[in-house]
Structure 1
Amino acid sequence: MEENKDVTIYDIAEKLNLATSTISRALKDHPTISSKTIKKVKKTAEEMGYVPNTLAAGLRGNKTNTIGVLIPTVTQPFLSSLISGIEITARKSGYNVIIMQSHDSYEEEVSMAKSLYGSRVSGIICSLAMKTIDTSHFQQFVSNNIPLVFVDRVPKDFNTFRVIIDNYAAGYKATTHLIEQGCTRIGHLTAGSKFGNLYTERMRGYMDALKKHGLPVEEELIADLKTVTYEEGVKSSNKLLDLKNRPDGIFASGDIMAVSAIQCAKKRGIKVPEELAVIGFNNDPISQIIDPNLSTITHPAEKMGQMSAEIILKSIKFPKKDEVKEITFLNTEVLVRESSKKI
């Protein structure tokens, strides 16, 4: 396949049927050009992948053998393992990795995406920021045949590769495990209303497991955290444990939330797991440090990173247009430890 040429002001002029001089002035916010035309020109330039920076434009003509990785943070154990899987796979094929953090900010994610595009990456792997709803800033990659893979936190309606686990099945498994341990009143710590379908799907699995086993779905047992932090986990756990008819089991959508539930219970003299069985999600290192050790759901982070990089490398080697993009589901398992063993 012929390599893409740089997008120039001539290409933008042809698309909009305007003079190149008009395009040039519009891109520089020249006062002789109307705000409506400036807006239209800049929008088209962005969609076409125009790079105004001279150095960046020069880079676009060359292969950089670099894969861009845009993630919320490098501090989460899951994301650190994801990066490891990407980097090991990329380096085996002679590719380097650039890592950028959005810090869960939509604005930073937009800025980082533009920076990666300007750096002439050969492909990009992204786990979305929690506050991202509009994903149009990734169109510049697709429009210029730069392979794009979303991993773990993925958009619903963007036609590109996705590497995810079956969050619904994982939530169902976790809740079913607690039911099998004799729990009949199971609380759920989630962040579903704030941070997209990842947590929503886990909650849907939780609800369906209850229904399947003839248990009611009770709104007072579902705690929706403002942020996925230990502090918010403590607040929400205490609310559940303050209930007149408190839960005898808790499924938390993240290990940090589950740890907060265990510690809140212990401070109140509630025995874990005898009086409160707890299961988390991710199998973070903290799950084996907390006492009792935390039951959790495996989240194959390194494998997800490896698979994401493999898709990028394959797409670079064998580029195809208008193909149906695959959604890859990876299996999860229940890791049973002391925190949920009632039987």
Structure 2
Amino acid sequence: MKEHTEVTIYDIAKKLNLATSTISRALKDHHSISKKTIEKVKKTAEEMGYRPNNLAASLRSKKTKTIGVLLPTIEQPFLASLISGIEITAKKAGYNVIIVQSHDSYKGEVNLVQSLYNNRVSGIICSLAMETKDTSHFQLFIDSNTPLVFVDRVPKEEFNTYKVIIDNYNAGYKATKHLISQGCKRIAHLAAGSEFSIYYERKKGYLDALKEFNLPIEDELIVKLDGITLEEAARATNKLLDLKNPPDGIFAPGDILGVSAIQCAKKRGIKVPEDLAVIGFNNDPISQIIEPHLSTITNPGSKMGQASAEIILKTLKSKDKDEVKETRVLNTEVIIRESSKRK
């Protein structure tokens, strides 16, 4: 006799080629789903013999005292600092922390979101993968009233949840303005990420600073990177230094990129900052190991982690499920070191 298996929302999602979050919302008559889709989902559910698993739902409502943290990686000093801020704050309140890495993969992120949901975390803190453009997989947490905070890399579109960020546009503007103040006239940019990322905002700040001070915006001075690595930054820097009219300044939107730019310049006998001024981003430890020390923009990782955990804990205590989802913006500062100090 063939064993009977329960039909789940995953089975319905597979049959209709829709996201599980869409199926979940359609079955609850959620306002964000069209009537046509709701009817189609309910009809398919009935045909397949789907029955809501009320036991599973009740188990899920009994949250563990655990906060899930989903990050692109734990290797970057900034993200390690972010984790520290989360852990210290969570543990003081008696919560454990689960840390998982997407490795900048969209598919990896989707799978980990489902795993954290299945493990009934009390709340989730997430910095998006570089590949992520669609964030509908996070709707599971919103539908189940599980506190969700996006930190650092946050969704570009309007997403009704909490965010903890820095003003990346303003930080990019400040970094570029600093190079201009040091007499740089041809400032290059190592362009990372996509238009959906924090790096895009830093690039916009760079472009607007050039416009404000009537400096040229030239395509050849903006080199697209395929990743945040020493090797990619070296390739981009060498391409810039090979130009007939090379730059006299580089804004690198990450310290590892700025360090690589300095190393390339030194190998080619180019003096930093006299011939080429360089500024990075994050104030990672590596910025003070390289010679000359790298100018940079502070990125308050520990404070961002602390703020994210505080929002989760506050929301868990709150009975107002419709409260305004705040966006908390933390300050950044320019740290001037030898790599850009001409005056």
Q: State the TM-score bracket (shorter-chain normalisation).
A: 0.7 to 0.9
Query: 2:154 matched to 1:175?
Result: no
Per-residue deviation at 1:44?
A: 1.8
Per-residue deviation at 1:174?
A: 0.4
String of CA shifts for 1:129-151, please: whole Å, max 9, x gaps: 00011111100000010000000
Mapped partners of 2:283, 2:186: distance in 1? 24
String of CA shifts for 1:173-219, please: whole Å, max 9, x gaps: 10011011111110111214x36230111111111111111112111
Cα 1:38/1:73, change in 2 over 3 Å: closer
String of CA shifts for 1:267-319, please: whole Å, max 9, x gaps: 11000011100000001110010011100000000000000000000000014
Per-residue deviation at 1:35?
A: 7.5
Mapped partners of 1:132, 1:252: distance in 2? 22
Per-residue deviation at 1:46?
A: 7.5
Query: 2:31 matched to 1:44?
Result: no
Mapped partners of 2:175, 2:206: distance in 1? 8
Residue aligning to 1:161: 162
Query: 2:101 matched to 1:101?
Result: yes
- AA aligned to 1:69 is V
Residue aligning to 2:227: 227
SS in 2 for 1:125: strand
Mapped partners of 1:34, 1:113: distance in 2? 16
Task: Kindly report which structure 2 residues correspond to 1:22-33, keeping only aligned pairs within 5 A, or say none.
Answer: 24-25=6-7
Per-residue deviation at 1:166?
A: 0.2
Residue aligning to 2:276: 276
CA contact (8 A) 1:47 1:140 kept: no
Mapped partners of 1:224, 1:113: distance in 2? 30
Task: Kindly report which structure 2 residues correspond to 1:70-81, keeping only aligned pairs within 5 A, or say none.
Answer: 70-81=70-81
CA contact (8 A) 1:130 1:195 kept: no
String of CA shifts for 1:106-152, please: whole Å, max 9, x gaps: 11111111111111111000000000111111000000100000000
Cα 1:312/1:107, change in 2 over 3 Å: same
Task: Kindly report which structure 2 residues correspond to 1:12-23, keeping only aligned pairs within 5 A, or say none.
Answer: none
Residue aligning to 2:32: none
- AA aligned to 2:191 is T
Mapped partners of 1:288, 1:34: distance in 2? 51
Residue aligning to 2:215: 215
Cα 1:304/1:27, change in 2 over 3 Å: closer
Mapped partners of 1:39, 1:175: distance in 2? 44
Cα 1:101/1:48, change in 2 over 3 Å: farther
- AA aligned to 1:44 is I
Residue aligning to 2:152: 152
Cα 1:218/1:335, change in 2 over 3 Å: same
Cα 1:278/1:323, change in 2 over 3 Å: same
CA contact (8 A) 1:262 1:278 kept: yes
Per-residue deviation at 1:34?
A: 12
Residue aligning to 2:252: 252
Cα 1:121/1:53, change in 2 over 3 Å: farther
SS in 1 for 2:69: strand
Mapped partners of 1:188, 1:251: distance in 2? 5
SS in 1 for 2:238: helix
Cα 1:68/1:218, change in 2 over 3 Å: same
Mapped partners of 2:295, 2:14: distance in 1? 58
SS in 2 for 1:278: strand
Per-residue deviation at 1:328?
A: 1.3
Residue aligning to 1:8: none
CA contact (8 A) 1:26 1:38 kept: no
Runs of 4+ residues deviating >3 angstroms = 22-29, 33-43, 45-50, 52-59
String of CA shifts for 1:223-274, please: whole Å, max 9, x gaps: 1101111110000000111111101110001111111110110011000011
CA contact (8 A) 1:48 1:143 kept: no
After superposition, the CA RMSD in angstroms is 2.8
- AA aligned to 1:183 is C
Mapped partners of 2:272, 2:112: distance in 1? 44
Residue aligning to 1:198: 198
Residue aligning to 2:113: 113
Per-residue deviation at 1:39?
A: 6.1
Cα 1:66/1:216, change in 2 over 3 Å: same
- AA aligned to 1:161 is Y
Residue aligning to 1:312: 312
**5+ residue gaps, structure 2:** 29-49
Cα 1:233/1:211, change in 2 over 3 Å: same
Residue aligning to 1:264: 264
- AA aligned to 1:219 is D
Cα 1:266/1:177, change in 2 over 3 Å: same
Per-residue deviation at 1:55?
A: 10
Aligned length: 318
CA contact (8 A) 2:21 2:136 kept: no
Mapped partners of 1:294, 1:40: distance in 2? 45
Mapped partners of 1:244, 1:89: distance in 2? 53
Cα 1:161/1:277, change in 2 over 3 Å: same
